[in-house]
Amino acid sequence: MEGYYLEGDVIVINRELTELDFLVRKFLEILIKHSDYLIVSGFVSIATGRPRGTEDVDILVPVFEEGKFKELFLDLQENNFWCYQGDNAKDVYSDYVKDMLNIRFAREDEMFPNMEVVFINETKKAKYYEFTHPQKMKVKDFEFKIPPLEFEILYKELVLAGDKDIQDAKHLRILFSDILKKERFKECGDVIMTEKNGA
């Protein structure tokens, strides 16, 4: 059986759900009541079958106003997630969210894996581009949004560029070789290099 197939515009991955998938799904079920999102980085490669672990799952989220953030924060707490940065929504907002600093949530009594929330707005050009061009992916009945594959590959190769990132990108290039598009690589590459060069 192939590693994936297309169902309309959704990439369906042929594998069973894992404990990490259940954690991410639970977090997203709460998050989507309050905000849009995009899952990026390591989980994309892991979700597509690359056999490696991760300590965190990176999720892009548009930056919140304080009232809406408090609603999300309390909802997560009520569903047994705790925040690394503190247990008071007002303090976490004023010390982190307001300045678009990342925060992390994990299951109660656990440290890893955790959900790293990365706040974005239009000033984060590359992240805003991927956020506004989502690709749907599904494992069994768990559907979620990731960046364009071409963006994810190039960001790992050109920006992150660690050994793990290069291997992630290689895995994605091989697995999805028949659906990757040259024109999308160029478009994504231009956006990424603009941010990398500080433009």
- How much is the pLDDT for 195? 81
- How much is the pLDDT for 145? 98
C-alpha 35/C-alpha 62 separation (Å) is 7
Question: Could you please report the per-residue DSSP string of 71-85?
Answer: HHHHHHHHTTEEETT
Report yes or no: 30 and 75 within 8 Å, Cβ to Cβ: yes
Which stretches in the chain have pLDDT values below 70?
1-2, 198-199
Report yes or no: 123 and 104 within 8 Å, Cβ to Cβ: no
Mean pLDDT, the chain, rounded, equals 96
- How much is the pLDDT for 1? 47
- How much is the pLDDT for 197? 79
Tens-place pLDDT, residues 138-176? 999 999 999 999 999 999 999 999 999 999 999 999 999
Residue 51 CA to its chain's centroid (Å): 18
Instruction: Tell me the fold of 4-148.
Output: Beta Polymerase; domain 2 (3.30.460)
- Percent of the chain clearing pLDDT 70 (strictly above): 98
- How much is the pLDDT for 177? 97
Cis bond upstream, residue 113 (ω within 30): yes
